[in-house]
């Protein structure tokens, strides 16, 4: 930290590094990565290492590794999560590329700058070859989209079905953050709900438009699910939810065409809030189960040998989906000797899902009765019902195809 040297020209920058040089790029994913790497080439020497730490598409990373290997430069793809706070306090780091080079030149450097858990373990470990680091980061972001949307639907139910104020919701999320839902996203949710608008003094959240943007990594995860023939509806619905939110003008027109909203009664608000916590927790398990199934399938398809339990450990600190819960995913893999068909079936989570289902069903049914848009809570439950059904209507589908 006391050895920062600023450089104003590329040559000056490259010359200031020890050989083999290790250059970490933090630039916008896409053609800029190629352009910046190409501009470094005249100054690099055989064996130097360039690490792309952006949210690049994993197939681009593989293409770059092959391309730059011909030019004797070792190209690494590295998933990094943590935003501004991660930049200051240490992020979660998911590096991929040549294993020997990683062990010899990068392991210490990257683990030193990564976030660390309370017990001192670094949130950085070698992921695998090719673009596997960026793939794991992409699925991390798909999970992030799912987590965000699950929380948003809980907020929506509290507000529109349970009639809670922002302060009451903030208190609820704060208490959830002290239990099994302890996570970065639940923590910032209660803080957001208490934030005041500096101009009006109102609660800030009530001045924010219900239109969510996106940069594309959640969408890539959903596309990857389709390409891999995997059912990952929780993460895909979270992307659809942002898409639907973005067509605000269309929604206003449609809302005017269908002004009648269903009437509903919630008899016991306290009991339904308890059901909601069950629904949120169970949907989260389902979402992670889908994410880890996708990682498992990709690992088999590409021969990456991903260590799924260890990947969960890398997300315990530093990153956006940071949560206590992740240590339990590692326990679930360890408990099953790494052979996990689906996280919801493991000793670690099976009983909790079982206990959550009745309340989860009640709250989803009531939200649908009330006309509320709760795609991730509902589709996680439908996924659970479909995945745990020995019989699905696919026999008719197959007959129709024939």
Pairwise CA distance, residues 237 & 380, whole Å: 9
Q: Say if strands 74-81 and 92-96 run parallel, antiparallel, or are unpaired.
A: antiparallel
In which order are the strands placed within the sheet that holds 92-96? 22-25, 49-52, 74-81, 92-96
Q: Which of residues 26, 39, 41, 83 is near ligand 6PG by CB under 6 A?
A: 83
User: Which residue, 96, 110, 19, is CA-closest to 65?
Assistant: 96
CB of 345 to ligand 6PG, least distance (A): 28
* Contact between 217 and ligand 6PG per CB under 6 A: yes
Among 62, 130, 144, 153, the active-site one is: 144
CA dihedral sign of residues 9, 14, 18, 21: positive
Q: Which of helix, strand or coil describes residue 75?
A: strand
**How is 324-379 classified by DSSP, letter by letter?**
THHHHHHHHHHHTTT--S-GGGSTTTHHHHHHHHHHHHHHHHHHHHTT---HHHHH
Concerning whether 137 is annotated as a catalytic residue, the answer is: yes
Nearer to ligand 6PG, 147 or 277 (CB): 147
Q: Which of residues 159, 214, 269, 382 is near ligand 6PG by CB under 6 A?
A: 214
Residue 6 and residue 90 in contact, taking contact as beta carbons nearer than 8 Å: no
Binding segment for ligand 6PG (CB under 6 A), chosen from 39-47, 79-87, 115-123, 308-316, is 79-87
Nearer to ligand 6PG, 218 or 359 (CB): 218
Q: Which of residues 132, 141, 172, 346 is near ligand 6PG by CB under 6 A?
A: 141
Residues 43 to 62 in contact with ligand 6PG, rule: CB under 6 A:
55
Q: Which of residues 77, 82, 128, 225 is near ligand 6PG by CB under 6 A?
A: 82
Instruction: Compute the C-alpha angle 119/336/353, nearest 5°.
Output: 85
Nearer to ligand 6PG, 94 or 329 (CB): 94
* Contact between 172 and ligand 6PG per CB under 6 A: no
Residue 112 and residue 97 in contact, taking contact as beta carbons nearer than 8 Å: no
> Total binding residues for ligand 6PG by CB under 6 A?
13
Listed in sequence order, the DSSP H helices in 30-80 are 31-40, 58-70
* Contact between 125 and ligand 6PG per CB under 6 A: no
* Contact between 320 and ligand 6PG per CB under 6 A: yes
Q: What residues are labeled active site?
A: 137, 144
- Residues contributing to the site for ligand 6PG (CB under 6 A): 55, 81-83, 141, 144, 213-215, 217-218, 319-320
């Amino acid at each position: 930290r006391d050895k920062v040297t600023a450089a104003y020209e590329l040559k000056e920058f490259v010359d200031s590094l020890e050989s083999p040089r290790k250059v970490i790029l933090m630039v916008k994913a896409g053609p800029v990565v190629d352009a910046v790497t190409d501009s470094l080439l005249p100054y690099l020497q055989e064996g130097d290492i360039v690490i792309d730490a952006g949210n690049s598409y994993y197939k681009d990373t593989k293409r770059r590794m092959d391309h730059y290997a011909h030019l004797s430069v070792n190209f690494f793809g590295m998933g990094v999560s943590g935003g501004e706070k991660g930049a200051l306090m240490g992020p979660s780091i998911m590096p991929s590329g040549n294993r020997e080079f990683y062990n010899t030149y990068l392991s210490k450097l990257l683990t030193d700058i990564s976030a660390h858990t309370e017990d001192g373990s670094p949130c950085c470990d070698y992921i695998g070859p090719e673009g596997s680091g960026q793939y794991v980061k992409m699925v991390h972001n798909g999970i992030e989209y799912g987590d965000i949307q699950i929380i948003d639907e809980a907020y929506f139910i509290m507000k529109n079905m349970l009639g809670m104020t922002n302060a009451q919701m903030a208190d609820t999320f704060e208490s959830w953050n002290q239990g099994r839902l302890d996570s970065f996203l639940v923590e910032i949710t209660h803080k957001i709900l208490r934030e005041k608008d500096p101009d009006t003094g109102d609660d800030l959240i009530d001045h924010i438009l219900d239109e969510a943007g996106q940069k594309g990594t959640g969408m890539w995860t959903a596309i990857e699910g389709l390409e891999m023939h995997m059912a990952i509806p929780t993460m895909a619905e979270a992307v659809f939810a942002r898409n639907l939110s973005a067509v605000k003008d269309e929604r206003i027109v449609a809302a005017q065409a269908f002004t009648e909203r269903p009437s509903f009664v919630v008899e016991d608000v306290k009991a339904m809030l308890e059901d909601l916590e069950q629904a949120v927790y169970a949907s989260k398990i389902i979402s992670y189960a889908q994410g880890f199934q996708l990682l498992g399938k990709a690992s088999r398809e590409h021969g990456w040998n991903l260590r799924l339990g260890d990947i969960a450990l890398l997300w315990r600190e530093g990153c956006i989906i940071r949560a206590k819960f992740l240590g339990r995913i590692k326990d679930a893999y360890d408990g099953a000797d790494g052979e996990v068909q689906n996280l919801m079936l493991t000793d670690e989570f099976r009983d909790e899902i079982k206990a959550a289902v009745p309340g989860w069903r009640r709250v989803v049914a009531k939200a649908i009765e009330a006309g509320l848009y709760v795609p991730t809570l509902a589709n996680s439950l439908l996924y659970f019902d479909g995945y745990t059904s020995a019989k699905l209507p696919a026999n008719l589908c197959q007959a129709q195809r024939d």
